[in-house]
Structure 1
Amino acid sequence: MRDRVRVVVQGKGRRRWHARRAGLAGALWVAGELAVTVGVVVMLLVVHQVWWTNRQALRAAHEVVRELEEEGGGWAAAVPEEVGEGEPSGEEPVGESSGSGGSGSSGNSGPPRTVKPSPPRASAYGVLRIPRLGVAVPVAQGVDKRSVLDKGYAGHYAGTAQPGAEGNFALAGHRNTHGEPFRYINRLRAGDELIVDVRGKRYVYLVGQTLAETTERDTGVIAPVPRSIVSPGAGYSEPGAYITLTTCTPEYSSKYRLVVWGTLKR
């Protein structure tokens, strides 16, 4: 009798153990399915951000370049403005405010001089060509991410010089995603051409220097006479007609800024 009771109790224990094991297996299965689902969603978001938005912006930018070429360069200026006027920058470019950063580091004094006016914000008015990289990108006024940079454009820092003028024609562009026009500017070498076409006029700059890494607050790189305030040995010391390209570095990060400078070919 005792043995028979003992067997029954043992059977109940075994069934409970199997039930707990089945419950644990079910929970693990559900957790695994959830993890796979989350992984797929994350992967799709990454594909959308890195691949799809890149293709969309690149296609749209190429269309704008084609239209500008057909129109002979785009927007025409009418009324001069003063140096330093313009809107603040977005998150991608150098400095917190491109208007103040572009001119505040120059050390110039006296009354403001008049220059060619800036085109309307977010309206592409010219084309930057980088023959070594096979790049042709629209140039628009301002460096706001949503209305300019995320369209695959190169954004012209407010308060910096216009193409071909004395001073510093400073541009910002994405290195990754959204057309990534400046992805490979680290490959540029001294003497490479940077060509700017604006309303039937062509300005050719020659790459002179590259600053591989600086902080986002190094506003000296877009000053009228560009010179890094973080790495004082990088940049120029004499007035001239310059071009500056800025983008984020390292790739897929916005921790630092990569800078390429060039001078106008006379």
Structure 2
Amino acid sequence: MALRLVVRSLSELCLTVGTLIVLFVVYVLYWTGVQAQGASADQIDSLQREWTTAPVENAPAPGSGPGSGPGSGPDSVPAPVGEPSAAPPRARVAPSPPPPYTPGKGIAVMYVPRLGADWKWPVLEGTGPAVLKKGLGHYAGTARLGETGNFSVAGHRRTYGDPFKDFPRLRPGDAVVLTDGTTWFTYRVDRGPYRTVPGDVGVVAPVPEPFRKNAAGFTGPGRYLTLTTCDPEWGSSHRLVVWGHLDATQPVTDGRPQALDS
């Protein structure tokens, strides 16, 4: 009787544990993907609404700005030598730098034709767990999109939508296209995938300097792109990295870049 009770209890325990394991696998393989797809779609919709409703900066009116005003222009008569001009020249004012990206907020949408015609993910500021559940993450402190330096982005290989599941398929020459709502930025992959360890932080330096000398192939300042993800596919002991450079830009008003349709 006692033996039967023990066997029955063990059987029930095994069934319970097995059910929990199955539910966990379903959560990891399916439900996190559903959540991520919904969150990324919301992020893209939010960005597109923001871009659509953003005020358009007015161009300076003809005859305004530095160098305009009395005593300037093609029809003006220069003041006689030794006499003051009608108005002192205006000092040129350097444009103020753009504000830093807001942590957790969407900054761009990325397209990688090599990973699929419908592959499209938002890029948010930061690489924390909460951010990477919604899309790709921009390493804080790396360059802004399109600027000199290293625009660096991380993404999950598996779970939360598997954005970089096919990361190993990336090859030199592949296009990585991003938009911030006003401009298309087309980067071209130069090197990778390169396998390294999480502590190899030089991969996202302004001029990438990975542990393996010349792995990135860059020797001086430029407008670079770094993409990173975990390796192996279902682990995180290592990282896969690809590097690229800014190949072209064009205004959004000019239509889609050719790289998306090739």
Distance 1:242 1:195 in 2: 13
Counterpart residue identity of residue 247, structure 1: T
Larger helix proportion of the pair: 1
Say whether the 8 Å CA contact 2:168–2:193 is kept in structure 1: no
Distance 1:118 1:129 in 2: 23
Partner residue, 2:126: 142
Once the two structures are superposed, residues 145-202 of structure 1 have per-residue CA deviations (whole angstroms, 9 ceiling, x without a partner) of 12x1122x11111111111111100011111111221221211111111011003211
Partner residue, 1:52: 31
Distance 1:60 1:238 in 2: 38
Distance 1:246 1:174 in 2: 9
Distance 2:6 2:53 in 1: 62
Alignment equivalent of 1:124, drawn from 102, 106, 109: 106
TM-score by length of 2: 0.73
Say whether the 8 Å CA contact 1:73–1:200 is kept in structure 2: no
The size of the alignment, in residue pairs, is 205
Gap change, CA 1:123 and 1:178, over 3 Å in 2:
same
Partner residue, 1:183: 165
Partner residue, 2:89: none
Say whether the 8 Å CA contact 1:73–1:126 is kept in structure 2: no
Say whether the 8 Å CA contact 2:171–2:193 is kept in structure 1: no
Distance 1:207 1:187 in 2: 12
Distance 1:121 1:67 in 2: 16
Say whether the 8 Å CA contact 2:194–2:215 is kept in structure 1: no
Q: CA deviation at 1:115?
A: 5.1
Distance 1:29 1:70 in 2: 59
Partner residue, 1:265: 247
Q: CA deviation at 1:227?
A: 2.5
Q: CA deviation at 1:74?
A: 9.1
Gap change, CA 1:174 and 1:75, over 3 Å in 2:
farther
Partner residue, 1:234: 215
Say whether the 8 Å CA contact 2:192–2:243 is kept in structure 1: yes
Partner residue, 1:219: 201
Q: CA deviation at 1:73?
A: 7.7
Once the two structures are superposed, residues 198-224 of structure 1 have per-residue CA deviations (whole angstroms, 9 ceiling, x without a partner) of 032110001111143101010110001
> What stretches of structure 1 of length at least 5 have no aligned partner?
1-21, 77-113
Partner residue, 1:19: none
Q: Relative CO higher for 1 or 2, CA cutoff 8 Å, sep ≥ 6?
A: 1
Distance 1:156 1:74 in 2: 24
Report matched runs for 1:98-117 at 5 Å.
116-117=98-99
Counterpart residue identity of residue 240, structure 1: G
Gap change, CA 1:157 and 1:74, over 3 Å in 2:
farther
> What stretches of structure 2 of length at least 5 have no aligned partner?
56-95, 249-262
Say whether the 8 Å CA contact 1:216–1:257 is kept in structure 2: yes
Once the two structures are superposed, residues 8-31 of structure 1 have per-residue CA deviations (whole angstroms, 9 ceiling, x without a partner) of xxxxxxxxxxxxxx4323311220
Q: CA deviation at 1:245?
A: 0.6
Task: Give the greater-gyration-radius structure (CA).
Answer: 1
The answer on 1:162 being equivalent to 2:144 is yes
